[in-house]
Amino acid sequence: MPRARDLALFQLLCTSGMDVMAQMPLLSEVLHRLVPSFSLSMIRVDERCVPSAHYSEFFDEASHALFAASGDHFATRSPDPAAFANLMSNRDPVGALIDARPEYLGGLIYQHLFQPNGIHHTLDVALRERGEPLAILGIFRERSAPPFRREDVRLVRSLYDQLVHACRAEPAAGPFDEVDSAMMVVSPAGRIVWASTTAREWLAEVSGGAERASMLDRGLVPDACRAILAMVRRARMAPRAGEVAAAPHVSVPLPGGRLDLRGYALESDVAGAEGHVGIQLRVEVARDLRLLRALDATRLTPQQLRIAWGLCRGMSNSELGMELALSAATLKSYQKDMYRRMEVGSARALVERLETLSASARVDRTRHLPVMRSRAAPSRR
């Protein structure tokens, strides 16, 4: 049953409409349970196999700097079997590296990226569609762990089409919930001259920590601050008559959500466009991700997970029956047991209960993972 639940949740995530990078915090948790490992990465690539964005767990700062400075080198044609272009050209896109051949262990990627991060065994997945490169998924184990088995490869291969769908889906513009906020002040030159205690605690992690949303995000937050400063200047230099200007606003993507920045001209400044600007920062998590995290924390069966998620999306019983190929009587039976497990009396009460559970999630800033405060979500580690 646990594996069946994880497979059901995996399917819900991949078909949720969320961007695959946004859902990685929870998707990685499910993958860790299906294929036990200590680290995982998802790397988007362009048509040349050059990395464009990544989610990587437990990679050191030097590795992120390597990606940021020379990510294109990973796509260069070379004898290294771990080179992204070589992985994408393999006839079988899953498990080319699990045998840890000497040419892999002697390759530059293993020597300069994997080995320094404790990675020895690699289960690689080259996600592509009709020959178009989409992403590289890496599932990693350390030297002391058992190597990946052919059974692991078969399992991941069975998930391949769902992962491709998640990579290809147009991200749905779903709602986001604020889970943390902070303040800072930016000088006319774009330098952060003051930050609240909360901002100091996590701003470095967001802009340059061990796990990043973008290959080139070393300057993302400073760049966003400078963009807001320029917006404030333009608004103050050329205001439109009778118009109340909205606060300048920039969003920086994060795994599981986004960092929202809004700028405000400080009232104490009278120097016009050259003044300091206050910036409110908000960490926001995709509501659908929080709902799915709440579902993951329940004891619902795989089919009940699908039914509950359909109800959260506003589906009627007739629509659920058609989508899940269930008769009205069978659906009613599933719902009756589901309501009993969740201690509610109706579909509406179930959705409200899940929304309450999802609202109790916070962001673990170490991994940008929505974590439940409630005891209903025991640690998976």
Distance CA 5, CA 85 (A): 35
Query: Cβ-count burial of 284 within 10 angstroms (0-12 exposed, 13-18 middle, 19+ buried)?
Result: buried
Residue 107, classed as helix, strand or coil, is coil
Superfamily of domain 176-285 in CATH is PAS domain (3.30.450.20)
Q: What is the pLDDT of residues 88-113, one digit of tens each?
A: 999 999 999 999 999 999 998 999 88
Other Cβ atoms within 10 Å of 180 Cβ, number: 17
Distance CA 68, CA 215 (A): 5
Q: What is the pLDDT of residues 324-344, one digit of tens each?
A: 999 999 999 999 999 999 999
CATH number belonging to domain 2-168: 3.30.450.40
Position 190 scores a pLDDT of 81
Distance CA 337, CA 251 (A): 42
Q: What is the pLDDT of residues 46-80, one digit of tens each?
A: 899 988 877 888 887 777 777 766 677 788 778 99
Closest by Cα among 190, 258, 274 to 224: 190
The pTM score is 0.80
Q: 2-168 with 288-372: one CATH topology?
A: no
Q: What is the pLDDT of residues 238-274, one digit of tens each?
A: 655 545 556 788 887 777 778 889 998 886 554 444 5
**Beta strand 39-45 pairing with 132-141:** antiparallel
Across 187-319, the runs of DSSP E, i.e. the strands, are 192-195, 249-254, 257-265, 277-286
Q: What is the pLDDT of residues 76-91, one digit of tens each?
A: 778 999 999 999 999 9
Query: Are the C-beta atoms of 283 and 270 separated by less than 8 Å?
Result: no
Query: Are the C-beta atoms of 170 and 185 separated by less than 8 Å?
Result: no
Q: What is the pLDDT of residues 195-234, one digit of tens each?
A: 898 887 766 655 444 344 333 344 667 788 888 888 888 8
Residue 357, classed as helix, strand or coil, is helix
In the chain, the N- to C-terminal Cα span, in Å, equals 19
Residue 125, classed as helix, strand or coil, is strand
Domain ranges in the chain are: 2-168, 176-285, 288-372
Q: Which CATH fold topology does 288-372 show?
A: Arc Repressor Mutant, subunit A (1.10.10)
Query: Are the C-beta atoms of 240 and 256 separated by less than 8 Å?
Result: no
